[in-house]
Amino acid sequence: MPTSHMPPLHSHFSGPYIERATALRRNPAQLAAAWRADGTRFLPVWEAQCLIREGAAARLRREEIGSELPDPAQGIFLGLEQGEHRFAFAVESRELPELPGQFGGLRDLVSNVPADDAGLLAYARGMINWHRQHRHCGLCGAPNRADEAGFVLACTSERCGSRSFPRLDPAIIVLVHSDRHCLLGRQRSWPADRFSTIAGFVEPGECLEDAVRREVLEETNVEVTHCTYLGSQPWPFPASLMIGFHAAAAVGEIRLNDGELAEARWLDRAALADGGVVLPPRASIAWQLIEAWHDRVPGPGLASFHRDGAFLRPANQPPEAR
């Protein structure tokens, strides 16, 4: 199927919202100076929550933080905004910290801040979450310490010396379609009218296309004939990278083989238009995959008439992962 007419997907939580300046991570002297510089700003993460202030990510000055500011070795160098350094740090207190702004969960904040700030907050939270979940070496159990500005966690046991790197969980997400229908599913924890694309984690020993074929077959019994990559999206709930496809299939009988979905349906464009189903939020690649398929035929675009769904919390994740 020709795909050259499709616009490239630009996804929420991604894009050039910061210059990562990765070479600086191995320059401790320069980073130590940056930690004290006037233009440097700090992004706190507390209990997996981010701080916003006046409709934007809170970029705190040192004097606004006071005693909550950790030792520089605990800071994570995120990169440069307009040439000024940005660090993330974890607030370890159990009480709500007294910092200027409001802490909140990322799902609640994303629609209240500009897209670039949503990306920055998700990046900061993703790094801090990784540190919190890897305080100890997975091989020998000794404490880890941060290295390379927070982008390496190194085992403190000399005999072990294991080093680990920020973890992402690759997942495929796919809009399966025939000529006139697309295949959408509803997870058990979702409202009765909420539907989205098929998605699932890639497993060791699989390429992305293998994972597309397996997930669609397991969840709906539909056999995919071929698939086309459209784009990807960091999905920081907690650490996924969604890799988005369109996949062709013949309309076939749906069977929910693995019980992961409560329901799946073949829907034509009219069914999407009549408001009977609620689609995922527009900030998600799931929405973009559906929109790209829907808008292939002339007529009003999906965004012109379809209401936006809310960010839903999976029922099976611990609070810090949401």
Based on the shown chain and the rule CB under 5 A, indicate whether residue 140 belongs to the binding site for Zn ion: yes
**Distance of alpha carbon 89 from alpha carbon 289, whole angstroms:** 35
Q: Residue 143 or 314: which CB sits closer to Zn ion? A: 143
- List the one residue out of 68, 87, 85, 67 whose CA is nearest residue 77: 87
**Distance of alpha carbon 121 from alpha carbon 103, whole angstroms:** 11
Helix or strand holding residue 183 (H, E): strand 181-187
**Least distance from Zn ion to the Cβ atom of residue 320, Å:** 24
Considering only 137, 182, 247, 285, the residue that binds Zn ion (CB under 5 A) is 137
**Least distance from Zn ion to the Cβ atom of residue 135, Å:** 12
Provide the greatest CA pair distance for the chain: 66
Q: What is the DSSP-derived secondary structure letter of residue 48?
A: T
Based on the shown chain and the rule CB under 5 A, indicate whether residue 32 belongs to the binding site for Zn ion: no
Based on the shown chain and the rule CB under 5 A, indicate whether residue 157 belongs to the binding site for Zn ion: yes
Q: Name the one range near Zn ion by CB under 5 A: 158-166, 227-235, 247-255, 263-271.
A: 158-166
Based on the shown chain and the rule CB under 5 A, indicate whether residue 48 belongs to the binding site for Zn ion: no
CB neighbourhood size of 15 (10 A)? 12
Q: Residue 161 or 276: which CB sits closer to Zn ion? A: 161
Considering only 102, 111, 162, 240, the residue that binds Zn ion (CB under 5 A) is 162
Helices (H) and strands (E) in the chain, counts: 8, 15
**Least distance from Zn ion to the Cβ atom of residue 166, Å:** 18
Characterize the bridge pairing of strands 41-46 and 84-90.
parallel
**Least distance from Zn ion to the Cβ atom of residue 144, Å:** 8
Q: Residue 140 or 250: which CB sits closer to Zn ion? A: 140
Compute how many residues bind Zn ion; rule: CB under 5 A. Answer: 8
Burial class of residue 81, CB neighbours in 10 A (0-12, 13-18, 19+)? middle
**Cis-peptide into 100, omega within 30 deg:** no
Based on the shown chain and the rule CB under 5 A, indicate whether residue 164 belongs to the binding site for Zn ion: no
Q: Residue 155 or 279: which CB sits closer to Zn ion? A: 155
Considering only 18, 73, 160, 251, the residue that binds Zn ion (CB under 5 A) is 160
**Least distance from Zn ion to the Cβ atom of residue 53, Å:** 39
Q: Would you state the torsion angle of the CA atoms of residues 134, 137, 141, 145, taken in this order, to the nearest 10 degrees?
A: -80
Q: Which positions lie near Zn ion, rule CB under 5 A?
A: 137, 139-140, 142, 155, 157, 160, 162
